[in-house]
Chain A
Amino acid sequence: MEEMKRVCLMPGVFLTCGQTKKFKRSHWYLGLSVPLTSKYASLNALLPRVLRQGTADLPDSQAIEARLEELFGGSVEAVVTKRGELQWLGFRASFLDEALVPKDCPILDEAARLLGDLLLRPATRNGRLRSDYVEREKQHLMDDIQRSVNDKAYYAMQQALERICVGEAYRVSRYGTLAEARKTSVGRLTRQYRQLLSSAAVELYYSGSASPERVERAWREALRGLPRARALTEGHTDWLIQPRNVRRFSQTMDLSQARLVMGFRTLCTLNSPHYPALLAANALLGGGAASRLFTTVREQLSLCYAIHSTLDRHKGILLIQAGVANDKLERTEEEILHQLLQLQQGAFDDAELSSAIRSVSSQYRRLSDSQLLQADYWLSQTAAELRISPDELADKLEAVTREQVVQALNRLALDSIYTLSAPVQEEVNQA
């Protein structure tokens, strides 16, 4: 696997960089990391969208798109992600690798310059971000927040998390709320922009054929003039939460299929020594096609098409989600709890466990073959202040014992059950 280098370019600005010649594209990321709060989440989410609209040299999005086309169909997307109770906002980009473009196209420096300009030299009017851009992107942000309902699986998961984590920062979605998005204004956004520029931690990422030295030089040049405050904003994720009672929530919607979400606290994050065992436990329970929930609830009992469990590695929440017929919700819930109990009592064979472990460790071993997954992995490591390579994690996973997995399963504490289903049709007899 390529070695990932991490260097500090200036206070609070770090570059993670991997040199590889096997891809046709280079992959880039520039992001600011801030604590996730209900008050600022929408304002922060709006920022990269507005910055993406124009720079001092390329004053509107048509000029930016034309520039990207000149750079052989490069792409730059404004992205906002949630890593535990941190919000990351910035740009993800990809460009054709230097090896595949004509020698007279300095694509590495041009890519870094474009990303630097988007952050540091936005299109402005009278010293503020452009109000026409802010208003338009604010509308698009509000549309996106409302649109979360379109993807029923995602919507059900969001709704469940909001309820499970009531009173915790984690309940806030990456785009914040409609009410907060509505309150954003050009004045507030410009102030927040200046504040973040000087105080937020900045993470840079590059994967491609250029040497780390050249990449570092290109980024340094592109970010010249980045103001840095003495004290940088830091955040952390509150994860040690033990549920007291199982809570139930339900919503109705005109749907063909109901959604069931069961939220568990794991009391474990990727910083914990138990994390590899939890990864194995999740894989065994509902992590893939060989998992217990897939093979029983779907394959044996035909109760659903989609069923899986997912893990938030920063927050320590495990969610089981299934799409089922309205009248099978109770039966599915019972079966999930029954299967979990079986596993907690150690009723699984060694082949089942080793298959589960193999399915996850193999994903980590292949990680360096995907620039996107690799970037996400290393940025997550950064968020948790870790430097464990995917191969090291795979090694730890493969060393996990049956006892450790049973312990991880027994630490799972059911917090809440959420259902999204069609309203019950009442039969009316018309005599």
Chain B
Amino acid sequence: MKQTIYPRLNETVYSERLESGLTVLVSQRPGYRKAYAFFAVNYGGMDYEYRLDGTPERSPEGVAHFLEHKLFDMPEGNVLQSLSAKGASVNAFTGSSMTAYHFECAEHFFPNLRTLLTFVTTPYFTQQSVAKEQGIIAQEIRMIADRPGWRVYYNLLQTLYQKHPLRTSVAGSEASIARITPAVLRQCHSAFYRPENMILCVAGDVDPEQVAAIARMVVQSAKGSAAGRLEIQEPPTAAEPSTITQSMPIASPTFLAGFKFSPAADDLLRQSLVGDLAGDLLCGASSPLYQQLYREGLIDRGFGVSFEAQPGAAFLVLGGDSPDPERVARAVLEEGERLRREGIPEETFRRTLRSCYGSRVGALDSFEHTCVQLARSHFQGCDYLRFPELYDQLTKEEVLAFLSEAMQPERMACSVLTPLEQTTEKEPQLS
């Protein structure tokens, strides 16, 4: 395997692209008892429409997430139980453009790794188990529908984007998942779960060669045709109306505002570093705007800002609880204008850059965070751990040019949740 040392991060990564097309990355972490494996596919909730053999295909919304649930089933039973029996904490998630299966454990790492690679690459779906899962996922859909954080974010995407499939919930709806059959699952598995469209990331004090050897043994080259992502023709502006408001049983109004960018043509990692830095300079905790809004009681410490990028989409998202979301959103837009006009003081830029850099280095303590970033960057064609060198190159001018692109009223959308009537209580009963 190829060894790459990142001296500024005190990190060493081993990598290899196997004959099957699967990329294996191992971040070696001496001194840790746990080892962590993360097996991801470049396929998520936004990919319900795709291209296969040159023809557009459409699957029910929520199929990527449904697959994530069902892959744990094997002819001999559910692997959740067998992995738990070997001391592994196992889980999986489906994002907009990535689905990942992961576990961590302190012992039996290699047998557990073999199980992980086997079940994810073994499609086994029966009519009965699909019907059962429809009941479980329907409950999951209802559970997330009661979550204000999910609701406000999902509504934002609905109004920030006009055509992009990010507008569709990753879990789909109760109606769409009712259309999922074993044949649908098999087709999507065969089209997307292909070694060349996947990555295995491992973090821990493990032998990288042994990781690669197991992957070589278990993961075979794919047969049949590979799916391709559709080109998305998304207008640069937000949908109309650009504000969406909904009521829920919550205590106080909460909101998210989004600013829409054009995704970088080449260096997506660089764009995300610039995006985070710009967000902090605009309304991070030490910024004049944050402090003013906090003093006026318009935001609290839950207020936050981040930059997000998905295939064909990039946006700055900010928000939290506020008694007057509209005023906060307007103030952010005005602050963007002020920064463009007045520039950024050198000292502020240097300090914020130092903070962003330190936060990214510190975040590598999380194996999950490390592997998610390595996988995402790999799918984008970047090497995540070269971020220290990229930070060295960033300038105020680049950040200002970034803000200038999207800090425009027509590129902004807002999602607001307002409180609905609260609870009523019945008399307690004894039984």
Interface residues of A (CB under 8 A from B): 1, 20-25, 60-62, 65-66, 68-74, 94, 96, 99-101, 136, 139-140, 143, 146-152, 163, 245-257, 288-290, 295, 298-299, 302-306, 323-325, 351, 354-355, 358-359, 361-363, 365-366, 368-369, 371, 420, 423
- Tell me if B365 and A362 are in contact (CB < 8 A): no
- Tell me if A256 and B146 are in contact (CB < 8 A): yes
In the assembled complex, the Cα of A371 lies from the Cα of B363 at a distance in Å of 12
Q: Which residue on chain A has the smallest CB distance to residue B148?
A: A150
Any A CB within 8 A of the CB of B223: no
Output the least CB separation between B128 and chain A (Å): 11
**Can you give 29 A-B contacts (C-beta < 8 A)?**
A22-B30, A24-B361, A69-B355, A71-B358, A72-B354, A73-B354, A73-B357, A96-B362, A99-B10, A140-B301, A143-B300, A147-B252, A149-B251, A149-B422, A151-B147, A163-B428, A245-B431, A249-B429, A251-B424, A252-B424, A253-B423, A256-B143, A290-B85, A305-B140, A306-B140, A355-B85, A361-B87, A362-B87, A366-B105
- Tell me if A22 and B32 are in contact (CB < 8 A): yes
- Tell me if A248 and B321 are in contact (CB < 8 A): no
In the assembled complex, the Cα of A73 lies from the Cα of B288 at a distance in Å of 17
In the assembled complex, the Cα of A257 lies from the Cα of B352 at a distance in Å of 43
Output the least CB separation between A152 and chain B (Å): 5
Any A CB within 8 A of the CB of B145: yes
Output the least CB separation between B180 and chain A (Å): 15
Output the least CB separation between A256 and chain B (Å): 4
- Tell me if B356 and A302 are in contact (CB < 8 A): no
Q: Which residue on chain A has the smallest CB distance to residue B323?
A: A143
B contact residues around A305 at 8 Å (CB): 136-137, 139-140, 143
Q: Which residue on chain A has the smallest CB distance to residue B424?
A: A252
Given contacts A351-B85, A359-B87, contact A72 B294 (CB under 8 A): no
Residue in contact with A24 in the complex, picked from B84, B132, B291, B364, CB distance below 8 Å: B364
Which B43-100 residues have C-beta < 8 A from chain A? Answer: 78, 80-81, 84-90
- Tell me if A147 and B251 are in contact (CB < 8 A): yes
In the assembled complex, the Cα of A371 lies from the Cα of B421 at a distance in Å of 41
- Tell me if B422 and A253 are in contact (CB < 8 A): yes
Output the least CB separation between A322 and chain B (Å): 9
- Tell me if B87 and A358 are in contact (CB < 8 A): yes
- Tell me if A70 and B351 are in contact (CB < 8 A): yes
Other than the known A288-B89, A302-B135, what 15 A-B pairs have Cβ atoms closer than 8 Å?
A24-B364, A65-B284, A66-B351, A136-B295, A143-B321, A146-B251, A149-B251, A247-B428, A250-B426, A256-B145, A256-B146, A303-B139, A323-B143, A324-B139, A423-B424
A contact residues around B29 at 8 Å (CB): 22
Residue in contact with B81 in the complex, picked from A62, A251, A256, A355, CB distance below 8 Å: A355
Any A CB within 8 A of the CB of B224: no
- Tell me if A61 and B294 are in contact (CB < 8 A): yes
Output the least CB separation between B413 and chain A (Å): 22
Given contacts A69-B286, A152-B146, contact A358 B252 (CB under 8 A): no
Q: Which of B81, B248, B295 is most buried by chain A, counting CB atoms within 10 A of its CB?
A: B81
- Tell me if A369 and B90 are in contact (CB < 8 A): no
- Tell me if B34 and A251 are in contact (CB < 8 A): no
Output the least CB separation between A121 and chain B (Å): 21
- Contact pattern, B 347-381, Cβ under 8 Å of A = 1, otherwise 0: 00001101111110110110000000000000000
Given contacts A149-B251, A249-B428, A305-B136, contact A73 B420 (CB under 8 A): no
Output the least CB separation between B237 and chain A (Å): 31
Q: Interface size (B, Cβ < 8 Å)?
A: 75
Given contacts A24-B361, A66-B286, A245-B431, contact A359 B89 (CB under 8 A): yes
- Tell me if A253 and B249 are in contact (CB < 8 A): yes
- Tell me if A366 and B365 are in contact (CB < 8 A): no
Any A CB within 8 A of the CB of B285: yes
- Tell me if B148 and A298 are in contact (CB < 8 A): no
Output the least CB separation between B399 and chain A (Å): 15
- List the 4 shortest-distance A-B pairs measured between CB atoms, nearest first: A72-B358, A302-B135, A73-B358, A362-B87
A contact residues around B424 at 8 Å (CB): 251-252, 423
- Tell me if B84 and A257 are in contact (CB < 8 A): no
In the assembled complex, the Cα of A123 lies from the Cα of B59 at a distance in Å of 60
B contact residues around A359 at 8 Å (CB): 84, 87, 89
In the assembled complex, the Cα of A246 lies from the Cα of B271 at a distance in Å of 58
Which B20-49 residues have C-beta < 8 A from chain A? Answer: 29-34
- Tell me if A74 and B107 are in contact (CB < 8 A): no
Any A CB within 8 A of the CB of B330: no
In the assembled complex, the Cα of A371 lies from the Cα of B366 at a distance in Å of 10
- Tell me if B146 and A255 are in contact (CB < 8 A): yes
Interface residues of B (CB under 8 A from A): 9-10, 29-34, 78, 80-81, 84-90, 104-107, 132-133, 135-137, 139-140, 142-143, 145-148, 248-252, 254, 284-286, 288, 291, 294-295, 297, 300-301, 321, 351-352, 354-359, 361-362, 364-365, 420-426, 428-431
Output the least CB separation between B295 and chain A (Å): 7
In the assembled complex, the Cα of A100 lies from the Cα of B365 at a distance in Å of 13
In the assembled complex, the Cα of A269 lies from the Cα of B321 at a distance in Å of 38
In the assembled complex, the Cα of A276 lies from the Cα of B338 at a distance in Å of 60
- Tell me if A100 and B361 are in contact (CB < 8 A): yes
In the assembled complex, the Cα of A323 lies from the Cα of B139 at a distance in Å of 8
- Tell me if B31 and A25 are in contact (CB < 8 A): no
B contact residues around A149 at 8 Å (CB): 249-251, 422-423
- Tell me if A256 and B84 are in contact (CB < 8 A): no
- Tell me if B146 and A65 are in contact (CB < 8 A): no
In the assembled complex, the Cα of A423 lies from the Cα of B89 at a distance in Å of 37
In the assembled complex, the Cα of A254 lies from the Cα of B250 at a distance in Å of 10
Q: Which residue on chain B has the smallest CB distance to residue A72?
A: B358
Q: Which residue on chain B has the smallest CB distance to residue A419?
A: B426
- Tell me if A74 and B252 are in contact (CB < 8 A): no
Given contacts A257-B143, A323-B139, contact A246 B430 (CB under 8 A): yes
A contact residues around B81 at 8 Å (CB): 289-290, 295, 355
Given contacts A247-B429, A289-B90, contact A72 B291 (CB under 8 A): no
Q: Which residue on chain A has the smallest CB distance to residue B291?
A: A62
B contact residues around A289 at 8 Å (CB): 80-81, 84, 90
Q: Which residue on chain B has the smallest CB distance to residue A322?
A: B139
- Tell me if B89 and A20 are in contact (CB < 8 A): no
Output the least CB separation between A70 and chain B (Å): 6
A contact residues around B133 at 8 Å (CB): 302
Given contacts A22-B32, A143-B251, contact A363 B140 (CB under 8 A): no
In the assembled complex, the Cα of A245 lies from the Cα of B132 at a distance in Å of 36
Q: Which of A25, A94, A371 is most buried by chain B, counting CB atoms within 10 A of its CB?
A: A25
A contact residues around B425 at 8 Å (CB): 249-252
Residue in contact with B34 in the complex, picked from A253, A366, A423, CB distance below 8 Å: A366
- Tell me if B251 and A20 are in contact (CB < 8 A): no
A contact residues around B301 at 8 Å (CB): 140
B contact residues around A363 at 8 Å (CB): 89
B contact residues around A72 at 8 Å (CB): 354-355, 357-358, 361-362
Given contacts A23-B365, A72-B357, A147-B252, contact A248 B430 (CB under 8 A): yes
- Tell me if A21 and B31 are in contact (CB < 8 A): yes
Q: Which residue on chain A has the smallest CB distance to residue B139?
A: A305
Output the least CB separation between B145 and chain A (Å): 4
In the assembled complex, the Cα of A362 lies from the Cα of B85 at a distance in Å of 10
Output the least CB separation between A425 and chain B (Å): 15
A contact residues around B354 at 8 Å (CB): 69-70, 72-73
- Tell me if A65 and B429 are in contact (CB < 8 A): no
